[in-house]
Structure 1
Amino acid sequence: MRLAILGLGNISGQYLAQLPALRNLELVAVADLRPDVAQAVADRQGVRALTPEQLVADPQVEVVLNLTTPAAHAPTTIELLRAGKHVYQEKPFALTPDEATAMLSAAREAGTRLGVAPDTVLGTGVQTARAIIDAGEIGRPVSAIAAFGCPGHEAWHPNPAFYYAAGGGPMLDMGVYYLTALVTMLGPIEAVVGMASRTRGQRVVPDNAPREGETIQVEVDTHVQARLRHANGALTTVITSFDMTASTLPHLEVHGEEGSLQVPDPNGFGGSPRLFTHPSTGWVEVADRAGFVDAGRGYGASDLVSAIEHGREPRQGADLGRHVFEVMDSILASAHSDRVVSIQSSCERPAAVPLGSMPFDS
Structure 2
Amino acid sequence: MTGTIALLGCGFVADLYLRSLQAMPGIVVHAVHDRDAARLSRFCAHWQLRAEPDLEAFIAGLPEGCVVLNLTNPAEHYALNLRLLEAGHHVYCEKPLALELAQAKTLHALAAENGVLLASAPCSVLGEAAQTLGHALRQGIAGTPRAIYAELDDGFIPQAPYTDWHTETGAPWPYEDEFVTGCTLEHAGYYLTWLISWFGSVRKVVAASAEVLPEKAGLKAAAPDLSVATLFFENGPVTRLTCSIVASHGHGIRIFGDKGVLSCGASWDNAAKVRFAKRSTLRRRLVESPFPRRLRLPQPTHPKVKRWGAAAMNFMLGPAEMLESLRERRPCRLSSEFALHLTEVTLAIQNAGEDTGPQVMTTRCDPMEPMPWAR
Determine if the TM-score, normalized by the shorter chain, exceeds 0.5. yes
Please give the residue correspondences for 1:146-295 in structure 2 after superposition, counting only pairs within 5 Å: 146-149=150-153, 150-152=155-157, 155-156=161-162, 157=165, 158=172, 159-165=174-180, 168-204=181-217, 215-244=218-247, 247-279=248-280, 281-282=289-290, 283-289=292-298, 291-294=301-304
User: Whole-Å Cα distance in 2 between the matches of residues 327 and 116 of structure 1?
Assistant: 13
User: Whole-Å Cα distance in 2 between the matches of residues 331 and 18 of structure 1?
Assistant: 30
CA offsets 1:62-111 (integer angstroms, 9 cap, x no match): 22111011111111011011112111111112100111011112211222
User: Whole-Å Cα distance in 2 between the matches of residues 188 and 304 of structure 1?
Assistant: 21
Q: Residue 249 and residue 305 in structure 1: after superposition, are their counterparts in 2 closer, same or farther (change >3 A)?
A: same
Deviation, structure 1 residue 58: 1.2
Question: Is 1:115–2:115 an aligned residue pair?
Answer: no
Cα RMSD after superposing both structures: 2.1
Deviation, structure 1 residue 264: 3.9
Deviation, structure 1 residue 299: 1.3
- Aligned positions, number: 343
Describe the SS at the equivalent of 1:355: helix
Q: Which amino acid aligns with 1:258?
A: K
Taking every aligned residue pair, what percent have the same amino acid on both sides? 24
Answer with 295-304 or 146-155: which moved more.
Answer: 146-155
Question: Is 1:98–2:102 an aligned residue pair?
Answer: yes
Q: Which amino acid aligns with 1:276?
A: A
User: Whole-Å Cα distance in 2 between the matches of residues 284 and 356 of structure 1?
Assistant: 18
Deviation, structure 1 residue 164: 2.0
Deviation, structure 1 residue 355: 3.0
Q: Residue 248 and residue 42 in structure 1: after superposition, are their counterparts in 2 closer, same or farther (change >3 A)?
A: closer
- Which residue of 2 is the match for residue 77 of structure 1? 81
User: Whole-Å Cα distance in 2 between the matches of residues 107 and 233 of structure 1?
Assistant: 29
Runs of at least 5 residues in structure 1 that lack an aligned partner in the other structure? 205-214, 358-362
Please give the residue correspondences for 1:29-68 in structure 2 after superposition, counting only pairs within 5 Å: 29-50=31-52, 51-60=54-63, 62-68=66-72
Q: Which amino acid aligns with 1:181?
A: W
Q: Residue 292 and residue 348 in structure 1: after superposition, are their counterparts in 2 closer, same or farther (change >3 A)?
A: farther
Q: Which amino acid aligns with 2:69?
A: L
Q: Which amino acid aligns with 1:173?
A: E
Q: Which amino acid aligns with 1:203?
A: K
User: Whole-Å Cα distance in 2 between the matches of residues 3 and 224 of structure 1?
Assistant: 35
Please give the residue correspondences for 1:2-17 in structure 2 after superposition, counting only pairs within 5 Å: 2-17=4-19
User: Whole-Å Cα distance in 2 between the matches of residues 75 and 186 of structure 1?
Assistant: 31
Task: Indicate conservation of the 8 Å contact 1:319/1:346, yes or no.
Answer: yes
Deviation, structure 1 residue 23: 4.1
Deviation, structure 1 residue 289: 4.6
Q: Residue 281 and residue 144 in structure 1: after superposition, are their counterparts in 2 closer, same or farther (change >3 A)?
A: closer
- Which residue of 2 is the match for residue 319 of structure 1? 337
Runs of at least 5 residues in structure 2 that lack an aligned partner in the other structure? 166-171, 281-287, 306-313
Q: Residue 243 and residue 27 in structure 1: after superposition, are their counterparts in 2 closer, same or farther (change >3 A)?
A: same
